[in-house]
Structure 1
Amino acid sequence: MVSEIEVTVRAICAEYEVEIVPGNVFPMPGQTRAIATMCQILAKHGEGHFRLVMTTLSETRGNNALIDQASLWAVSDLIRACPEWVDQRTSEWLEWWDRIPLGPIMATINQLRGFSHQRHALAGAIYYRLCTFSDERLAAQDTASTIKNKVPEVGQARRRANAERAIELGKQLIAIRDELPHGHWLPWVEKSGLSYGTVQRYMKMARAA
């Protein structure tokens, strides 16, 4: 007789389009034979937790082909160990899993079979990757914050540079005016392309500098 837990597991798997196949069948992408593990996780940690496990594995890039006992338990352990990532940064959590080369990691961990617990070794290897992604995010935030803080400084520097150019131009205008014969200054200004008000402002800044 099928238990209520197994009925729930099968229903949730159907929602995620994950087919449960017999234990003697090699699973293809979108299939799993780890029904017993799924039932254990659901019974131990509840439906919400189990759904997070299934979301992580079935809805991230290439990982729906890797739903087995070790990966299910590893994801379950990591969800419990990293609630701040899962609960507060869910979209990033899934994006990170898109980037994790789960297949190669599992193949490497499999070489330790008989020497190291597959579940724990896999969880540790994935956790290292997740920490790297989290550090990258924090570094990007720090860079963005630094740039944001630098914006006022850049604006101030630009204003200082503009003022310095205006003062220098004002000095040149004063020198030109002093060299021109009487009555030639205003015609010169009109031909210069500068407004008389701008010329006066630059000259005033030069005198005050």
Structure 2
Amino acid sequence: MITEIEVDGVGTMRHLNNWQIVAIRKMADPKRRAIAELAFGLGMTVRQFQGLSISHQNAAREAHNRLYSPEAFRLPNPKNAPVRLPQRYERVSDEKMATMGAELLAIKAKLPRGHFGVWVEEKSGITYSQAQRFMKTAGTRNRSLQSQANSV
């Protein structure tokens, strides 16, 4: 997953945070909103972004489009085959729940803040509450394994 892209001569394009998104939504002028999304992604003001050369602005637009493309949010497949997700109302063993939870925790760590819930609902095929339950099981299992290792 891509979280930032270096734009030559300009800076690093990053995902917007919640404060930036709210500030953009409050802008009345739609043209200024479009520029603000690019500027804030680079850590600039709208005026600073407008002061850039046309080639730098186009490079920033290209980086923004790559950063927010569906391919940028696609996570690479792990070397091991992914665990099959349960069907609705299917019983899942604690071992399988912990394995899926560990995979979900790894995915959550790679995604930007606030994107995991959306990813679970749209991409995983399970509900957010199921994901939370699986991750909790994985955390409990890891803690019990650590306590066993410490007692030995």
TM over 0.5: no
Structure having greater relative contact order (Cα 8 Å, sep ≥ 6) = 2
**TM-score, normalised relative to structure 1:** 0.23
The structure with the largest alpha-carbon Rg is 1
Point out the structure with the larger helix share: 1
